[in-house]
Amino acid sequence: MGVIKSMVDSTQMMTADINGEDGLFFYGDAAFPNGAVMPGDSVVISYRGALSKAVASSIKLIPRKGTIVDLDALRKSDEPQLTKPATEESLKNMKDFKEKSSRAKVVTSD
């Protein structure tokens, strides 16, 4: 298990702290089985090669504990709300995204 320190999309390289050692990983062909990752995330990396220049085959995100917000209690309190209602534009963008994604073709490799 390790922690991602940095990711560079243009070179598809990332550095990660793996048990106290810095590793340099090429992630261009890696699978991300349970979601995208970013610096600061805890991950399990399957790789081949030496840590100085390894090729990642799978990068699995270790989910963080979620935060639960009680909106009913927040509405009843005098504290300011940290969220705002959706605008017409954001609702339209969400609807457009859902329509486009439902028409997307799924490509699989054999």
Domains and CATH numbers, the chain: 2-62 (2.40.50.320), 71-103 (no CATH)
Window from 12-16, 31-35, 53-57, 99-103 with minimum mean pLDDT: 99-103
- What band does 105 get if pLDDT is binned at 50, 70 and 90? low
Mean pLDDT for 21-28 is 90
Q: Is the pLDDT of residue 55 over 90?
A: yes
pLDDT given at position 104: 59
Whole-prediction pTM:
0.53
Mean pLDDT for 60-86 is 75
Which residue in the block uniquely carries the two structure tokens 């922690």?
A: 3
Q: Which residues of 61-84 are buried (b: 16+ CB within 10 A; e: fewer)?
A: beeeeeeeeeeeeeeeeeeeeeee
Window from 5-9, 15-19, 59-63, 104-108 with minimum mean pLDDT: 104-108
